[in-house]
Structure 1
Amino acid sequence: MEVCNRCKKGHLRSEGRFAQMMVILVFLLLLPHIACQAQVLKCGMWNSYLTIPKYYQSGDFIYGGIVFQASYVRPHNFSNYPSGPPLKKIIVTENYQHILALAFAVKEINKNPQILPNTTLGFKIYDSFLRPRWIYHAIMQFISPNKKLVPNYKCENHDNLLAVIAELVADVSQEIPIVLGIYKFPQLMCGSATVETESNNLHSSYQMIPSGFHLYRGILQLLHHFNWRWIVLIAANGENLAWFMTIMFPKFSNRGICFAVIESFTSLYLCYDAYTEITKCAMEFYYKVTNSKANVLVSYGDTHSMIFLIYLVSIDAINKSKGKVWILTVGMELKNVVRKSRWDIRGFHGALSLALHSNELPGFRQFIQNRNPSNVKGDGFIKDFWALAFHCKFQDSVLGSMSGNICTGEEKLETLPQHVFPRSVTGHSYIIYNAVYAVAHALHAMYSSIPKRRAMLKGERRKQQQPWQLHHFLKMVSFNNSAGENVFFDQNGELVPRFDIINWITFPNQSFIRVKVGSMDPRAPGDEAFTINKDAIIWHSWFNQVQPFSVCNANCQPGYRMKRKEGQPFCCYDCIPCPRGRMSDHKDMAECSTCPDDQYANKDQNLCLPKIVSFLSYEEPLGISLAMCSLSFSLITTLVIRTFMKHHNTPIVKANNQDLTYTLLISLLLCFLCAFLFIGRPEKVTCLLRQIAFGIVFTMAVSSVLAKTITVVLAFMATQPGARIKKWVEQSMANYIVLLCSIFQAGICVVWLATSPPFPDSDMHSVAEEIVLQCNESSSIMFYCVLSYMGLLAIASFTVAFFARRLPDSFNEAKCITFSMLVFCSVWLSFVPTYLSTKGKYMVAVEIFSILSSSAGLLGCIFSPKCYIILLRPELNKKEHVIRRKH
């Protein structure tokens, strides 16, 4: 056991030597700054203007605090020491509340016997002045004896530093944890949001402010909610910008957000030198980021960046340029900056900011109500705040040039306007309050974890506890604060993020108010993670209280799609109409979509309308007309049959095979009637019979014409002396021709029905606005085989009739057949291209028209001359006129 103890003491001694060596190294690095400070103070030029006010309260353990309340405007040229009063002091009055929050939390803990009984807490708070040298100076004071700047020198008047609560700016937010990390002091960072670096992963550093990753996620939700896709980003420094471009830029791009300008304040610092006016550089920078079409400017930075941004906006207020929507991040809240000449902040009217969530702390208002310089001891901040907040001066003030009444010290804080000193708890004050309690609860947990030694740890012995022992308990700390909210760190040593969305309203007298319009809480389920009341937001007067748009170009309206512009970010695009038959029903669609099969795109191509069911019906004019034509020709054919039957004994009826004549007339009658199979809603039976009946009946008609043509030729040849062909004419050869031709066509139809029969179908695509009910022929090859076979018969009949047209008969039927076949072939040759070029029910109409016209051609050309002779010229209906031999 003694060996272990000696090893442990030796290990601690080694750690102590290592810490001393690191402090010496840091001290040597800071020596030029400290020497410069000492030389200036020795000269007595800054001594009266630049002191380090501190607020000190003794205790068994001490909280170190680095906050920002005051700063100084530097001279333009730093090559020489200035003569006369070189600095202009500015005060951010709101930040005094941060100091009071720390003091209030310590006071509550000391009065609470359940947290740290028999132990008192104190604090030592320094002002950072937003300058790295004074922050480093404060750090050296924390690890030095009281009233001496001797780092790592322990003596009887050395405070027991418990933890450091630092409200830092971006310039030093990465280096300070490294310096204090040598001693493993718990460091609770309460300044601006930081980016992810190796220093963030130090075991001694705890982020009370959500990291840049969480902050940008919140900004992304805000941009997406308002559909702002064309923005400007201003980062505090190059490091933040580089981190954003590497980590967050792809995430913004994936959500459809582009950047008109991406800049950092570093480029402004590079422009400014001893020979360039700061105003010129500032305005060049400002106009670069504001003279774009983007109406939304996201500014990511800290208090230092915000003060400079207020300066830029104040200068631009003179020019009254176009209003913008500012989105400000944590640490860049609008604050009252008190200086000799007031800055115009109306450019921030309507700005939105992601602020740290806060809640009212019981007893905090009472704590500050009676606070004044006369009843507070050790507060080195209160006089500067009091003088500038109440526009008065103390008789012993170093600000001799300041005009105003003498401060009585009896002024009341509650009489100050909200923008000067808010009485409600701000986000940063709330975080500092929770940071003080987090360390106290960790210390309490550490004491409670060693029950055997609890009796020994009394009085002075407790002072021997080392700060590094707190880390184990600080990582696991979880408690409910006085506002009833749970406070804990995640696995990365960060406070679980939660934001309030603040709308900033400014007034002509340079006052302003903050209005909470929403919140973001990643821990909340679903839709509760992001809530915002858009109706409560007041926008910049430039937008006439209408939600601003921020896009590279106007939105593509429904009916159009986006086409990216070459050489431009993907947010910049042209709008082109959707192709015919496609539609877009939302703004800014990348591609036009196709409507469902039972719908079609309207004329504006922004909506899908139901298609109408279409087929050739008896209720529409076209169907009625074709039906009437079919019926009329059928009646005419019937009359012709009746006429021929009535005059069946006349020579003209008996001539050229009377049976063929009746077969042809009946076939034509059936052809006219089969047109009714094509009209009406397609059914299974009609689809099966439609093309089959048409093919067989028409084949009978054409084969009858062919047989008649052959009969005419054979009859003429039989009249020649000694002709042996006479016996063929007397026999029933014509009937065999009709029968064989019809049987062959019927065989084709049977094969069609057996292999792929027609069936009812609906065509969704041929006609854009209709669902065409039709008979699907199933096999177009078989359909065209039927037509081709009829065509061959017609061509054969036409050829034979054409060569027989000059036979020397008084009534030569070959001429009539020639004309009829000419009409028939013309109709069906024109049918094929017409049929293929039409769509929907008009295809059926074309086929019906071809059936009627070709049948009517056969009826008219063949039978009209005969009917004329039978009915009107009966004197010619004699045998000597029908057959006249050639002499």
Structure 2
Amino acid sequence: MWCFLLCCVLWFPGLLCTLPAATHQPLHEYSDGDVIIGGLFPIHLQPNRTLPSSRHVSCNEYQFQVFLAAQMMIFAIKRVNQRRALPNVTLGYDVYDTCGDASLAMRMALNMSIDQLDPQCGLLPGRKPSSAPDPRVKAVIGEGSSEVSIAVARILTLSSIAQISYAATSELLSKKDKFPTFLRTVNSDVLQTKAMAELVKTFNWWTVGIVGSDDEYGKYGSDGLEDQFNAMDNVCVDFKFILPAHLDLSGSKAQKQLTELMDTIGNSTAEAIILFTRESNVKLVLEAAIQMNLNRTWIASDTWSNSSDIKELPGIEAIGPFFGIAFKSHIVEGFADYVSSMVEEKSSNPLWEYHKLNHPPCQSAPQEKLNCSLTASQCMETRCLVHYIFWDLSLNIYLAVEVIVNALSSLMKCDGEKCQRNTSFTAYELLNEIKNVNLTVNDTHIVFDDNGDPMLGYDIVAWNSPSSGTIGEYLPGGKINLPPSLVATMANVTFTAFNCSRTCPVGQELKKNGMKCCKHCIVCSDGYVSSEIGTQNCTKCKEGMPLFGIAFTLCVSCVLANLLQIFVCFTFSQNMGGWFRKVNQPPAVVAILFGVQLVLCSIWLAYFPPSLQREPHKKAFKLKCDPTSKALFGAVLSYVALLAVVSFLFAFKGKKLPDLYKNASFVTIGMLLVLVVWIIFIPVYLFGDGVYTEAIKAAAVLVSSHSMLCCHLVPKCYIMVFRKELNDEKAITDYIRNHFEQKGINVLKS
């Protein structure tokens, strides 16, 4: 395979020769050294070729921030050489501009895989007597996109060259059977999709829309997101829309696709729209959304979550808040000064002249951000360039260089003074050392798993919202940290802007009704009920709940025992003293009276249990308790009525007794209400057959219960809280003594 590729390159030298100096010529920067590290960066986009096989290649869309990212690699290598991290060993670099094109990047990777560099064309036959000479480049940093990284990985694998990407996140690259030499200093999209799913769950979004693209990054990312959401109970994917890998609006097909996407978003019920595609596609989508005034919540993937070009789109503040998943970011000390020094020594810096020829987009930046002139020429003359550094991307590149240096130090057995081994090692040996690196750089710990992936976590960023900037983080273990106030605000949303209910009134539940994800409140199904405001689901009606007779009997028995105690105490007669003492046993009275009802109800439930009947009524239905045995049902109610009548008589009789707390007076009112209610209710319930019969029964139960509670307990609570001086044994004794002395009865002091 290697011989075939080598022969092809030698036979068609024009494939690797590049155009001499031109305004949009792809950058190629080389510095010799004992060990050469390759670099691949999409400093431009969209290569132009006059013919498919033409050697004349130029590129459009200069990306100033990526140019600065490439300078980070050069800066890091120069710093390693200056601090002599590898004694007596000098690192060199071979940096290429891939123009974001897979075929062009493959040519450059092939060039770095050969053992000799031809200044004229890029390749010469190997001078060593070997069919597959060891490559001159021992490790490669790049490329940025997953699509290009996959293409490059297939070339570098042939020579066992370690490839460390600083931004390629596709989970496909984690498959070591296909890409055994690929590693990265950025998380895999597997972790990113988990972070996005956790963000959606934490912010209480129920419906989402996913926009991906037809490339390795967008396809695997959008599929992974859909899998994550499908595994959740309360999140629904309203739509998934796949764009071309490169959305070019010059064609009618792309225009049609973009219009279709805008219609899909406009007609969807999605609360949040996730754009999992490259920045160039996102820019076109959001420009169209701004034009159509599509206000949504937008979720950014790591490719554009910190893009200044996106944040500064005119009118972007009108289409809703943005939340995003971003790489962990730290400032690399000294790099800002290094970038500024490029301006000061511009006359002798070829990289600066290249940058100047390609026109940085400074004129679009806001004045307050740069604190410098807005014109391109003046911007190039000042220190405002540092404001365009992607610190997250730059950190990943810096980490890649440090990983390679750490592996070289281990491979050559360097101790700070000297290296015991020279540079005559193979790329395969270095690859194995890189896989085993365990390193901490600037508070960032990096170690590779078996798939060549680190576990670095993410920052959660936001803009166009009350909270802007970095607002939280996602940790590799699955925990997400966000401001509690923001989470509470999002969790309390009960109705979305897209006609989707969040909670329902009593008797209804949330159900999908026609639309794919949006739920609406509908009446509970037959046999189900929701009894609380704000519930989301109806629950099945429970059987055998019909026990009012037993509960109310217990309540009335307690009241009757209390009244009996008062009556016995204040109608005391020496002739009846023994009998009164036997009767004045409240626990025994309650037990006997309650026991009678318990026996009746037990017989009823055992032999003739009530059943739940569902009777249709227009568009609804009525749940009705059928007592089955009306005789036993009547006996239970009659016993309750008997106790109520006896209680009323005792209460009425005891109204004139010297009860300091006026229990009898209040209970008389309460029992009178109970009797009136049940006198009205019983004939209606037994002979009525209307839809409101059960409602009348419920009202009767509630009125009876509340009258007992209010008339029996509220006065006692009043005494305990507001008349504490009456809640005393001496006060009660004095009150009773005065009562009998007024009747001429002598009372002995104890």
TM-score (norm: length of structure 2): 0.65
Give the structure 2 partner of residue 168 of structure 1. 144
Give the structure 2 partner of residue 756 of structure 1. none
* 1:780 pairs with 2:603: yes
For 1:616, the aligned partner's letter is V
- Equivalent residue runs for 1:483-632 within 5 Å: 483-505=442-464, 515-523=469-477, 529-533=479-483, 549=496, 553-557=500-504, 559=506, 562-565=509-512, 569=516, 572-576=519-523, 583-584=531-532, 587-589=535-537, 591=539, 614-617=554-557, 619=559
Change (3 A) 1:779 1:612: closer
Give the structure 2 partner of residue 833 of structure 1. 630
* 1:209 pairs with 2:32: no
Q: Structure 2: how far apart are the matches of 1:505 and 1:236?
A: 25
Give the structure 1 partner of residue 322 of structure 2. 351
Q: Structure 2: how far apart are the matches of 1:782 and 1:554?
A: 42
Q: Structure 2: how far apart are the matches of 1:87 and 1:550?
A: 48
Q: Structure 2: how far apart are the matches of 1:446 and 1:593?
A: 72
User: How far off its partner does 1:591 sit?
Assistant: 4.0
* 1:308 pairs with 2:274: no
Secondary structure, aligned partner of 1:163:
strand
- Equivalent residue runs for 1:415-430 within 5 Å: 415=384, 418=387, 421-422=388-389, 426-430=391-395
Change (3 A) 1:169 1:832: closer
User: How far off its partner does 1:760 sit?
Assistant: 4.0
Q: Structure 1: how far apart are the matches of 2:330 and 2:110?
A: 34
For 2:503, the aligned partner's letter is C
* 1:139 pairs with 2:109: yes
For 1:441, the aligned partner's letter is N
Give the structure 2 partner of residue 231 of structure 1. 208
User: How far off its partner does 1:147 sit?
Assistant: 2.7
Give the structure 2 partner of residue 261 of structure 1. 239
For 1:564, the aligned partner's letter is K
Q: Structure 1: how far apart are the matches of 2:245 and 2:361?
A: 33
Change (3 A) 1:129 1:286: farther
For 2:434, the aligned partner's letter is L
Give the structure 1 partner of residue 39 of structure 2. 65
Structure 1 unmatched ranges of 5 or more: 1-17, 393-403, 508-512, 601-610, 629-672, 691-758, 762-773, 785-830, 851-887
Give the structure 1 partner of residue 693 of structure 2. none
Q: Structure 1: how far apart are the matches of 2:104 and 2:314?
A: 26
Give the structure 2 partner of residue 433 of structure 1. 398
Q: Structure 1: how far apart are the matches of 2:246 and 2:380?
A: 44
Give the structure 2 partner of residue 327 of structure 1. 299
User: How far off its partner does 1:563 sit?
Assistant: 4.9
Secondary structure, aligned partner of 2:394:
helix
Q: Structure 1: how far apart are the matches of 2:358 and 2:485?
A: 37
* 1:125 pairs with 2:98: no
Which of 13, 19, 29 in structure 2 is aligned with 1:55?
29
* 1:19 pairs with 2:27: no
Give the structure 2 partner of residue 751 of structure 1. none
Change (3 A) 1:79 1:261: farther
Contact 1:57 1:378 in 2 (8 A): no
Secondary structure, aligned partner of 1:196:
helix
Give the structure 1 partner of residue 728 of structure 2. none
Secondary structure, aligned partner of 2:501:
coil
User: How far off its partner does 1:299 sit?
Assistant: 1.3
Q: Structure 2: how far apart are the matches of 1:429 and 1:218?
A: 22
Q: Structure 1: how far apart are the matches of 2:105 and 2:262?
A: 29
- Equivalent residue runs for 1:342-491 within 5 Å: 345-346=316-317, 350-372=321-343, 373-378=346-351, 381-384=354-357, 387-389=360-362, 407=377, 411-413=381-383, 415=384, 418=387, 421-422=388-389, 426-448=391-413, 455=420, 457-458=421-422, 462=423, 464-481=424-441, 483-491=442-450
User: How far off its partner does 1:116 sit?
Assistant: 0.8
Contact 1:54 1:381 in 2 (8 A): no
Q: Structure 1: how far apart are the matches of 2:406 and 2:541?
A: 60
Change (3 A) 1:586 1:37: farther
User: How far off its partner does 1:433 sit?
Assistant: 0.6
**Count of residue pairs the alignment pairs up:** 587
Secondary structure, aligned partner of 1:55:
strand
Give the RMSD, CA atoms, in angstroms.
Answer: 5.3
Contact 2:342 2:352 in 1 (8 A): no
Q: Structure 2: how far apart are the matches of 1:241 and 1:574?
A: 36
Q: Structure 1: how far apart are the matches of 2:468 and 2:59?
A: 28
User: How far off its partner does 1:206 sit?
Assistant: 0.3
User: How far off its partner does 1:56 sit?
Assistant: 2.6
Q: Structure 1: how far apart are the matches of 2:494 and 2:400?
A: 38
Deviations 1:743-796 (CA, angstroms, capped at 9, x unpaired): xxxxxxxxxxxxxxxx849xxxxxxxxxxxx43348639999xxxxxxxxxxxx
Which of 249, 256, 260 in structure 1 is aligned with 2:226?
249
Q: Structure 1: how far apart are the matches of 2:600 and 2:465?
A: 77
Deviations 1:809-868 (CA, angstroms, capped at 9, x unpaired): xxxxxxxxxxxxxxxxxxxxxx9735415867x643269989xxxxxxxxxxxxxxxxxx
User: How far off its partner does 1:469 sit?
Assistant: 0.5
- Equivalent residue runs for 1:632-671 within 5 Å: none
Change (3 A) 1:554 1:430: same
For 1:382, the aligned partner's letter is H
User: How far off its partner does 1:306 sit?
Assistant: 1.6
Contact 2:206 2:271 in 1 (8 A): no
Contact 2:436 2:448 in 1 (8 A): yes
Secondary structure, aligned partner of 1:776:
helix
Q: Structure 2: how far apart are the matches of 1:570 and 1:291?
A: 12
Give the structure 1 partner of residue 619 of structure 2. none
Secondary structure, aligned partner of 2:407:
helix
Give the structure 1 partner of residue 268 of structure 2. 292
Q: Structure 2: how far apart are the matches of 1:336 and 1:781?
A: 77
Deviations 1:206-254 (CA, angstroms, capped at 9, x unpaired): 0222112101100011000111111110112265666467655343123
For 2:603, the aligned partner's letter is S
Q: Structure 1: how far apart are the matches of 2:235 and 2:457?
A: 23
Change (3 A) 1:240 1:137: closer
User: How far off its partner does 1:531 sit?
Assistant: 0.8
Q: Structure 2: how far apart are the matches of 1:36 and 1:343?
A: 42
TM-score (norm: length of structure 1): 0.56
Range with bigger deviation, 428-437 or 127-136: 127-136
Deviations 1:660-682 (CA, angstroms, capped at 9, x unpaired): xxxxxxxxxxxxx9xx99x998x
Change (3 A) 1:140 1:486: same
Structure 2 unmatched ranges of 5 or more: 366-373, 568-578, 608-627, 647-750
Deviations 1:239-289 (CA, angstroms, capped at 9, x unpaired): 5666467655343123221111101113996x9896x26434422333323
Contact 1:563 1:576 in 2 (8 A): no
Deviations 1:45-77 (CA, angstroms, capped at 9, x unpaired): xx84541112332222222111123224979xx
